[in-house]
Structure 1
Amino acid sequence: MYAKCKCVEDARRVFDGMRVKDVISWTSLSSCYVTYGLPRQGLEEFREMMLNGVRPNVVTVSSILPACSELKTLNSGREIHGFVVKNEMGENLFVCSALVSMYASCLSIRHAQLVFDNMYRRDVVLWNVILTAYFSNKECEKGLELFYQMRNEYVKLNDASWNAVICGCVQNGKTELALEMLGLMQDLGFKPNQITITSVLPACTSLESLRTGKEIHGYIYRHLFIKDLTTTTALVFMYAKCGDLELSLRVFNMMPKKDTVAWNTIIIANSMHGKGEEALLLFEKMLDSGAKPNSVTFTGVLSGCSHSQLVDKGLLIFDSMSRDYSTEPDVDHYSCMVDVLSRAGRIEQAYEFIQRMPIEPTAAAWGALLSACRVHRNVELAKIAAKKLFEIEPHNPGNYVLLSNIFSTANLWEEASEIRKLMSDRRIIKEPGCSWV
């Protein structure tokens, strides 16, 4: 009871007070730890149970294997698999599903497939687990092959199977295929649910397919999914990414409840469209609403300051992060601030800011400085930034070409030629650009 009510400490207290602890009580405690984000403690209780001579049952095993998945402890998982084989639990569907998931999470997809192949009886849950395993491990083609095999074997498809395939296609960059699967799903009489919609909206975002996005929006409205926070947040981002900021704002304003993720999405949307002032205004509204900003919030706000050259506002917000919001700036925030200063033409100040950074500057920070040096024709700082970039990402052709162009603009033809020769010596080739409508 305490475990189901998420009272982990109370569950532990009752357990410790028990004179006799059987397999059910041990399983309840270890499962409680795993369920509520304490997988390491769950495994420790499982080991303690074994040391006390209590033999785990199929429920114990299937509930503890997710701890190995979360911790990526392949050795522990294999030890439990050995126990499963020795104690003839290998035909239990719950145990096998947990084993397949564990091996997949530990990037041992071959062993996941072996467990799956050895099952003489497979239910839809086991099929869904192996499908998700392949898609999660970026093996989209094999996942699709299994999906078609599943259909051919007349296994009953529930919505989870389709969701696994659609989500897997999106995660593997097969966005057009994801939309095809959505159509096929409906043709075969299956109704997309909220998980389906949330999974497929990023495909519209990636393809910047506004028409398809609007069709899905219509489906959301007709099936009353509009009240779901995750779905509407995905809609907000889709419209912004597809270039319709007005519709993005309209959906956002219609949301009855807005969490931090929703606020972050609309702030980033405005920043993407160069609306820095609007992003700042939304940030203030977010604070007034009681939503707590996080690291992503500040990345979005600072990005907006960068695009709109709001240097002083950017500096004030950056300084307030740790002081007022208990959020320590990370490397992305420092890179954003370098970009804020660089875009506004304060490249000397940007360089000083980089030198004062308490963490190692990334390619993004040096790249922002190098780009600004081209605009403002500062050759000396360009040399410094490029040298750092050549160390961090020596095979990125863009840095070499940019420095060469800076030298050319300054009529430093010999230096420009040396950079081109350096590219040739290192066998670095710039891919030709193309325009696509």
Structure 2
Amino acid sequence: MVSTKVAPSVPTKLSSHLGHRLVKAALNVGDFRRAQQLFDNIPQPDPTTSYTLISALTTYGLPHEAIRLYASLWARGIKPHNSVFLAVAKASGASGDVLRVKQVHDDAIRCGVISDVFLGNALIHAYGKCKCTEGARRVFDDLVVKDVVSWTCMSSCYVNCGLPRQGLAVFHEMGRKGVKPNSVTVSSILPACSELKDLKSGRAIHGFAMRHEMMENVFVCSALVSMYARCLSVKPARLVFDLMPHRDVVSWNGVLTAYFTNKEYEKGLALFSQMRSKVVKADEATWNAVIGGCMENGQTDEAVEMLRKMQSMGFKPNQITISSFLPACSILKSLRMGKEVHCYVFRHWLVWDLTTLTAVLYMYAKCGDLNLSRNVFGMMHRKDVVAWNTMIIANAMHGNGKEVLLLFESMLQSGMRPNSVTFTGVLSGCSHSRLVEEGLQIFNSMGRDHQVEPDANHYACMVDVFSRAGRLVEAYEFIQRMPMEPTASAWGALLGACRVYKNVELAKVSASKLFEIEPNNPGNYVSLFNILVTAKLWNEASKARILMKERGITKTPGCSWLQVGNRVYTFVVGDKNNMESDKIYDFLDELDEKMKLAGYKPDTDYVLQDVDQEEKAASLCSHSERLAVAFGILNLNGQSSIRVFKNLRICGDCHNVIKYISKDVGVTIIVRDSLRFHHFRNGNCSCQDLW
């Protein structure tokens, strides 16, 4: 027979003394429900019992229960003691409910206890936890006596609420009032210097800490390391770190971040290795710093490896990890890896984090799958301006100008206010789809309707809008009317269009300006050279080539790549290093015969060597993007599309050939070049042959 224990009944009436002992005993064994039942049966609970129970409930993560118990005192006609106000102020702050804090504040005023400095400090802290600087400031200003805790709480409140400048102002006023900061004050105000990149104030606080023997405090030292790191002062950060008697993981992370942010990648990895050899337990922030540092320094493969190591060590990637790592999928153009990360996000309920989902959305767009970007965008429970901007930019880079305009209209209807980035994306979408009137209308509405003044980037976008539509004279006149100095982007947009529309004179003007603004960019020289060669202006073309040689500028080699299975395959012009090179060239030869029968003639203007026409045609067949597409076709494995990426602008002749391939083979071919995505389907391209 199984016996069951019956909980002892709660006496209906308890004396204050006995009740306090029983409540305390119940709390000692963690029986909060019984403690509350006992408390409710004390007719006149003393302040100590009330304070003890409310504090215990708050400490053990039950602030709402603590507030309910406080409210029950008023309902029973019992006026709370100062100590009870102190306990419930902490509970209301822990609850994160600013209305609760305000109620306690009002009660304290009504009971005449608000002048108590300890209660005032607790209320300032509670308001700070609820991100309410106005309430905290009211309490602070009403305090007759302010101690170091009062000033520290008020400055910390501003810093934690994203107002570092106001926090520093309180800190400086504290000094003028003759109140000496303590180590908590110093460690809590240094993040304000970090946020503002205020190295001067940070150094002054460092000097104060040294003079007042605070350098033994690990929190002060860690805050100093972080401050110097954020201000890109790596040597002082490392000096403070090396002199620390005890180092916590925060200080290690600070120096790691300093190295990576300052582009000292090797030193950062060396320190990370040293950290692990000293058996310092890395945390999620450590791994995030290393993965983010690898990404910031262009070490994409290393970032992938670090993510694997992080997981093998038992750490779960969080929102910060995912957001910093996802660009690796975009850079490697690895859609499969991106999908794996998205699955992880879904499995671990990170879909509620807006920043993470926005990063996933952008990754899909950069990897060439706009439909998946749309799916992610549609799943978002809420959308901030960054999410809207990302979706607009995603469509712009894929050449979907009309969808860009629809998104922009939906964004406005949702009540979201567009910013500078929004208009860059919208105007870019208009340029890629030759929506000139729409682009001009939106440009003119920026300052008038949305209080966003156009900057040089927006003006460059409008030059691109005119240029791509063939309205080159208007584009040139628009540049001349710009209220600021035209940028390389503006002149570059005009130069690119001059090749398409064969306007030699404007090409010379724009190239001349570009040679002044960015003299080391090889693309500008090559573009002008191509335009002059096409126009058969051999002498002038030769001068452009000589100028390029004299300045020591070399043309960036073309390179194309795609992912098949788990591996990324790379191709350069004339490449024969692939294990399937024979099959690739056989496929292209067969294709060439088919195209000749269909009336295709190679556009040899895209080959600039001084060789005969037959050799030029043969050279075109070995361009990197054509080799990559052929390899992708030969390794379809049942897929209906392939994705190829190129570091330079796609060759015009290859563009024509890939259109033919898409119709002949019946697959969708997506090519991302240096300017945009090209979607080839049934013999047509989404760029409408203008890019």
Establish whether TM, by shorter chain, passes 0.5.
yes
Residue among 421, 424, 428 paired with 1:296: 421
1:68 is aligned to 193
Residue among 400, 407, 432 paired with 1:307: 432
Residue among 253, 265, 278 paired with 2:403: 278
1:410 is aligned to 535
Question: 1:248 offset after TM fit, Å?
Answer: 1.4
Q: Does 1:374 align with 2:485?
A: no
Residue among 246, 258, 265 paired with 1:140: 265
Q: How does 1:23-422 map to 2 (within 5 A)?
A: 23-422=148-547
Counterpart CA distance in 2 for 1:293 and 1:321 is: 9
Counterpart CA distance in 2 for 1:412 and 1:73 is: 56
For the structure 1 residues 390 and 255, does the alpha-carbon distance in structure 2 shift closer, same or farther, using more than 3 Å as the test?
Answer: same
Question: More deviation in 418-427 or 53-62?
Answer: 418-427
2:681 is aligned to none
Structure 2 residue identity aligned to 1:225 = L
SS of the residue corresponding to residue 559 of structure 2 reads coil
Question: 1:216 offset after TM fit, Å?
Answer: 1.2
Question: 1:47 offset after TM fit, Å?
Answer: 2.8
Counterpart CA distance in 1 for 2:169 and 2:273 is: 41
What's the CA shift string for 1:380-437, capped at 9, x where partnerless? 2122212211221122222122222222222222222222232233333333333343
Q: Which has the larger radius of gyration?
A: 2
Structure 2 residue identity aligned to 1:48 = E
Aligned length, in residue pairs: 437
Question: 1:9 offset after TM fit, Å?
Answer: 4.3
Question: 1:178 offset after TM fit, Å?
Answer: 1.3
Structure 1 residue identity aligned to 2:495 = L
Counterpart CA distance in 2 for 1:375 and 1:363 is: 19
Question: 1:127 offset after TM fit, Å?
Answer: 1.7
Structure 2 residue identity aligned to 1:87 = H
Counterpart CA distance in 2 for 1:393 and 1:107 is: 27
Question: 1:40 offset after TM fit, Å?
Answer: 3.4
For the structure 1 residues 34 and 246, does the alpha-carbon distance in structure 2 shift closer, same or farther, using more than 3 Å as the test?
Answer: same
Question: 1:58 offset after TM fit, Å?
Answer: 0.4
Question: More deviation in 96-105 or 413-422?
Answer: 413-422
Counterpart CA distance in 2 for 1:218 and 1:427 is: 48
SS of the residue corresponding to residue 435 of structure 1 reads strand
For the structure 1 residues 22 and 236, does the alpha-carbon distance in structure 2 shift closer, same or farther, using more than 3 Å as the test?
Answer: same
Identity of paired residues, percent? Answer: 69
What's the CA shift string for 1:186-214, capped at 9, x where partnerless? 11222222222222111111211111111
Structure 1 residue identity aligned to 2:193 = C
Structure 2 residue identity aligned to 1:419 = A
For the structure 1 residues 192 and 327, does the alpha-carbon distance in structure 2 shift closer, same or farther, using more than 3 Å as the test?
Answer: same
Structure 1 residue identity aligned to 2:482 = M
Question: 1:10 offset after TM fit, Å?
Answer: 4.6
Structure 1 residue identity aligned to 2:311 = Q
Counterpart CA distance in 1 for 2:553 and 2:316 is: 50
Question: More deviation in 144-153 or 268-277?
Answer: 144-153
What's the CA shift string for 1:76-98, capped at 9, x where partnerless? 22222122122111011110111
Question: 1:255 offset after TM fit, Å?
Answer: 1.8
Counterpart CA distance in 1 for 2:302 and 2:245 is: 31
Higher strand fraction (1 or 2): 2
What's the CA shift string for 1:273-315, capped at 9, x where partnerless? 1111122122222222222222111111111111111111111
What's the CA shift string for 1:332-363, capped at 9, x where partnerless? 11111111110110000101111111122100
For the structure 1 residues 17 and 227, does the alpha-carbon distance in structure 2 shift closer, same or farther, using more than 3 Å as the test?
Answer: closer
Structure 2 residue identity aligned to 1:88 = E
SS of the residue corresponding to residue 373 of structure 1 reads helix
Question: More deviation in 332-341 or 396-405?
Answer: 396-405
For the structure 1 residues 75 and 250, does the alpha-carbon distance in structure 2 shift closer, same or farther, using more than 3 Å as the test?
Answer: closer
SS of the residue corresponding to residue 308 of structure 2 reads helix
2:678 is aligned to none
Structure 1 residue identity aligned to 2:187 = S
What's the CA shift string for 1:46-99, capped at 9, x where partnerless? 233223322110011111212222333323222221221221110111101111
TM-score, with structure 2 as normaliser: 0.61
TM-score, with structure 1 as normaliser: 0.94
For the structure 1 residues 219 and 37, does the alpha-carbon distance in structure 2 shift closer, same or farther, using more than 3 Å as the test?
Answer: closer
Structure 2, unpaired ranges of 5+:
1-123, 562-569, 571-691
Quote the RMSD (CA, aligned, Å).
Answer: 1.9
Structure 1, unpaired ranges of 5+:
none
Residue among 145, 154, 160 paired with 1:20: 145
Task: Tell me which of the two structures has the higher relative contact order, counting C-alpha pairs closer than 8 angstroms and 6 or more residues apart.
Answer: 1
8 A Cα contact 2:226 2:251, kept in partner: no
Question: More deviation in 339-348 or 306-315?
Answer: 306-315
Structure 2 residue identity aligned to 1:351 = Y
